[in-house]
Structure 1
Amino acid sequence: MNLAAPHPSARWVGERLGVHVEGPPGTDGLTVHDLLGLALRRNPKRAHLLVSHVLGKHVPTDPRLVRAAGLRLGARVAELLGVPDAPVLDAPTWRAALAGDERATAAVDAVVRRPPARPDALVIGYAETATGLGHTVADALGCAGLHSTRRAVPEAIDYAGFEEEHSHASGHQLLPCEPAVLAALADPDAPVVLVDDELSTGRTVANTLRVLHARAPHRHYVVAGLVDVRSAADHDRLVDLAEELGTRIDVVSLTQGRVELPADVLARGTALVADAAPVLPGAGRPGDVVPVAVDWPAGVPTTGRFGTAPEHAEPLAGADLVRHLLPEVHAAGSVLVLGSEELLHAPLAVAVQLAERHPGEVRFSSTTRSPVLAVDDPGYAVRSSVAFVSHDPVLDGPGIRYAHNATRAGGWDAIVLVLDSASTPADLHAPDGVLAALAPLTSRLLLVTLPADSWRSSP
């Protein structure tokens, strides 16, 4: 194991809780130290939070790197499924890109945009964190995709539900209606790829596999994550599950390692969090919010909530998503494109196009359900947090949502919030809503509303 040079943003938690992450070089020579920092959850079930620097969820990141990490993971899955000629990069180029080097970012982006193909597979991403990652892996494989959801969709038929035991919001549902997804679910020879940002214990994966296999058995499942930090016992449990179900289960990741946790980590973490005041929605005003149109391609879903077909990727790749947005940010030196909970892939597509055509700095992140302790220290992964009331329909009802690391010295010249038409306008514009929370962080607040996907009872 490689014990040297943990990511600087892991120091604070390591010193106070004795939590350490270690691991050997993995894909392209990357290690867990390259990709992860540490924070503390406000969650009695688990103290620590692994904070990815390539996911675009809790840390504003160059959107081209977010896409590159997903495509690179997709290439690893393709290798496992027998597709040759996966892209190969070197760790110094990745590290330079992660440090903000534009030339290195362009190099990474150019190499990984040569995706392999395995159109007979089905990718399932996990809500909310890995919806965009799963969609990008499906793009890399050129196959159908789906993600679990917590959105309330009264007309939909629940194909399967399962639990994410350690999560702040544990219930997931699968609501497929896309014919390509339904066909893959029914085909025992179609490889099913489960995508999560991190594989920490494998319990959520095991819960999902049991439900899916009971509904429609498959001969081959692949579990894919940016990082795999499961223990030896967790590895063995998945091996035993494959034997129990009479199927094949493979695991692939960009990096592997382990998390060292003291026996009293939960008690110590709870005490640290209890000493800090929670971040709560304020009572502000949105100010001047500029609505901006996006020419979203007709017939292309904005999420994988109900499924996506392989052919959906082509019109999206050819669409000019930022034609109306570029004039609104032309004078902005720094732009944050902010997705909304499960809505990650579509905002990422907007952010990537903006990064390719806007001369200033463009970063991508998303709002989240996850309550995290914010500590303004360079040795900590979540240095700021703003809170607001939710604005879309979900199974467990209204709640508090967050934007982590969206605050920065001097503010952003522009923030582009991307959400869908299922959002409730009154909640968006409320004094404790997301627009009021973001307004103090930027000189110019832009709002992009994409069409919400609809569940269809027939093709």
Structure 2
Amino acid sequence: MKRKTSQACLKKKYTYNILDNLELDIYIKDNIYEIPLDKLFAMAARKNKKRSFLFVSKVLGKHIPVNPFVPLIAGAALAARYMQIVHNENSKKIKEIINALVEESNINEVCDDMYKNPFKLSEPCIFIGFAETATALGQSMYSYFSNSGAYIHTTRELISNLKSIINFEEEHSHATSHRFYSIDPNILESKNTVILVDDEITTGKTALNIIEAIQKKYPRKKYVVVSLLDWRSDEDIQKFREKEEKLNISIETVSLLSGNIKEKGKISKKNKFNKMDNIDIKINCNIKYINLSEFFKNLITLSSKDSLGYENDSPYLLETGRFGIKEINKEYIESKTKIIGNYLGEMRSGNKTLCLGTGEFIYIPMKIASYMGEGISYHSTTRSPIYPYDKIDYGVKNIFKFESPDDPSIINYIYNIPYRYYDDMYIFFERGIKKERLKSLLEILKKLGIPNIFIVTCSGKIN
């Protein structure tokens, strides 16, 4: 991918040749920590009528395999930036946090220190992470505060016998509807500040949609929208000001990097993209099933219904945040994921291990992976369809698609797994699932050249 840099209108300009004739100009307005762009993201072309490109994050642990501590320290960086902008507090720790994010220097120790010595909020807040990409980012940021209030993430799941408190749309997404379930029906009743966490703001419409939905039923005075990247145009920023006036509220924004973007050109449909899911080569691999139910005791006994009408009655984990968690739950999460990480780490057969979260289930597997030893890479499956292409600096080198075990009508994807690179793979599911629903996924996993594959369920088993 060719990238040019120039200075224009006091904004630093970067031009990315993404694929074919598709180009993107990026004008940087604010990069206070001087984080190199290529440490935060790579570019890729995606299959979406509303936006043909994607910022493929290098710090989320979603599409690109990363050290599991990287997404955790990204949450700490957002927490530090939040304290700077919202509370005008400049932490002495910010330099080591950014060094850990960029260079991965002492990253384990910095994460541990931040967890033991979190930022203290003057009053509790309600943190909300957006599904599916930012569920872990939101929880990671939340974990680095004391007096933090509650954390909950939106979901695309349809929960039986529990009413969604609010509903809203993510207009540019391939899966647009968000739901908001909570075991505490009063989670939004307070007047506390709501902190919305996403990996990226492009127009801000999703944030404005949820703000309007909350404000309609649970009015309050203040919202903060937090993201790694903020690409809103001047027109988009003005819409935030208009929403503030209309609803008589305050909306602050926090990001590590902000600027404007301009798309040019398009992708040729004649392009031959890299596909690996149709490779017939398979190696013998050992597939083992692990049930971690004995480790998790805080279960949410609710069932879900997929688009085919199948009802899954395996309990959910409280600790994911899908139904809300509070500060009291943090120590339990820390202790349990450490015990499980040590337990699973003992099963490793080599030095290179891949841990995969699934869909919205990202944070708990990431925390477990962080305790499994050296040589761990982490990312997760996704609904996002992206064009793969094997060239330098391009964000998605290969693609593997399969039917989601949670809902076979939905196609899921795994990206960026080199053939025969890993010794072991652990793929984590929150809940038990039918074995027959794993068939499509297992066919893909057998083509990766990984000798040992562990299918891990945290609540319920494969049956």
TM more than 0.5: yes
Stretches of 4+ aligned residues off by more than 6 angstroms: 277-286
RMSD: 2.6
Query: 1:345 and 1:276 mapped to 2: Cα distance?
Result: 31
Query: 1:79 and 1:151 mapped to 2: Cα distance?
Result: 35
* Residue aligning to 2:320: 303
Query: 2:180 and 2:69 mapped to 1: Cα distance?
Result: 29
Query: 2:384 and 2:276 mapped to 1: Cα distance?
Result: 12
* Residue aligning to 2:453: 445
Query: 1:233 and 1:261 mapped to 2: Cα distance?
Result: 16
Query: 1:49 and 1:62 mapped to 2: Cα distance?
Result: 21
Query: 1:286 and 1:228 mapped to 2: Cα distance?
Result: 45
Query: 1:342 and 1:23 mapped to 2: Cα distance?
Result: 30
Would you say the 8 A contact 1:123–1:194 is kept in 2? yes
Matching of residue 404 in structure 1 with residue 415 in structure 2: yes
Matching of residue 196 in structure 1 with residue 198 in structure 2: yes
Query: 1:309 and 1:36 mapped to 2: Cα distance?
Result: 31
By how many angstroms is 1:377 displaced? 0.9
Query: 1:241 and 1:222 mapped to 2: Cα distance?
Result: 13
Matching of residue 159 in structure 1 with residue 165 in structure 2: yes
TM score, norm. by length of structure 1? 0.85
Would you say the 8 A contact 1:416–1:446 is kept in 2? yes
Would you say the 8 A contact 2:274–2:389 is kept in 1? no
Matching of residue 138 in structure 1 with residue 142 in structure 2: yes
- Deviations along 1:133-167, whole A, 9 cap, x unmatched? 11112222333111111112121111111111110
Matching of residue 335 in structure 1 with residue 353 in structure 2: yes
Matching of residue 173 in structure 1 with residue 187 in structure 2: no
Indicate the percent of aligned positions where both proteins have the same amino acid. 26
Would you say the 8 A contact 2:76–2:141 is kept in 1? yes
> Which amino acid is 1:316 matched to?
I
> Which amino acid is 1:156 matched to?
L
* Residue aligning to 1:291: 289
2:62 to 57, 60, 66: 57
CA separation of 1:273 and 1:255: change in aligned 2, threshold 3 A: farther
Matching of residue 366 in structure 1 with residue 380 in structure 2: yes
Would you say the 8 A contact 1:31–1:255 is kept in 2? no
1:20 to 20, 25, 38: 25
1:412-427 aligned within 5 A = 412-427=422-437
Query: 1:440 and 1:375 mapped to 2: Cα distance?
Result: 19
By how many angstroms is 1:288 displaced? 2.8
Greater alpha carbon shift after TM alignment, 85-94 vs 38-47: 85-94
CA separation of 1:286 and 1:401: change in aligned 2, threshold 3 A: farther
By how many angstroms is 1:398 displaced? 1.8
Query: 1:251 and 1:218 mapped to 2: Cα distance?
Result: 17
> Which amino acid is 1:296 matched to?
F
> Which amino acid is 1:388 matched to?
F
Gaps spanning 5+ residues in structure 1: where?
Answer: 98-102, 453-459
- Deviations along 1:420-439, whole A, 9 cap, x unmatched? 224332111x1x2x232123
* Residue aligning to 2:189: 186
- Where 2:342 maps in the other structure, the secondary structure is coil
By how many angstroms is 1:115 displaced? 2.1
Query: 1:349 and 1:70 mapped to 2: Cα distance?
Result: 13
* Residue aligning to 1:383: 397
- Where 1:201 maps in the other structure, the secondary structure is coil
By how many angstroms is 1:82 displaced? 2.7
> Which amino acid is 1:152 matched to?
L
More helix by share: 1
Query: 1:172 and 1:60 mapped to 2: Cα distance?
Result: 26
> Which amino acid is 2:422 matched to?
W
CA separation of 1:444 and 1:278: change in aligned 2, threshold 3 A: closer
Query: 1:164 and 1:440 mapped to 2: Cα distance?
Result: 34
CA separation of 1:106 and 1:138: change in aligned 2, threshold 3 A: closer
By how many angstroms is 1:444 displaced? 1.0
Query: 1:153 and 1:18 mapped to 2: Cα distance?
Result: 41
Query: 2:436 and 2:413 mapped to 1: Cα distance?
Result: 18
Would you say the 8 A contact 2:358–2:429 is kept in 1? yes
TM score, norm. by length of structure 2? 0.84
1:199-238 aligned within 5 A = 199-238=201-240
- Deviations along 1:37-77, whole A, 9 cap, x unmatched? 11011111210101111010011011111100012212322
Q: How many residue pairs align between the two structures?
A: 422
1:326 to 335, 345, 361: 345
- Where 1:449 maps in the other structure, the secondary structure is strand
> Which amino acid is 2:188 matched to?
L
Query: 2:178 and 2:389 mapped to 1: Cα distance?
Result: 30
Query: 1:425 and 1:363 mapped to 2: Cα distance?
Result: 26
By how many angstroms is 1:28 displaced? 2.7
More strand by share: 2
* Residue aligning to 1:109: 111
- Where 1:46 maps in the other structure, the secondary structure is coil
By how many angstroms is 1:278 displaced? 7.4
Query: 1:239 and 1:274 mapped to 2: Cα distance?
Result: 42
Gaps spanning 5+ residues in structure 2: where?
Answer: 1-9, 299-316
By how many angstroms is 1:412 displaced? 0.8
By how many angstroms is 1:21 displaced? 2.5
- Where 2:343 maps in the other structure, the secondary structure is coil
Would you say the 8 A contact 1:282–1:388 is kept in 2? no
Query: 1:123 and 1:364 mapped to 2: Cα distance?
Result: 24
> Which amino acid is 1:48 matched to?
F
By how many angstroms is 1:368 displaced? 0.3
- Where 2:396 maps in the other structure, the secondary structure is coil
Would you say the 8 A contact 1:297–1:315 is kept in 2? no
- Where 1:23 maps in the other structure, the secondary structure is strand
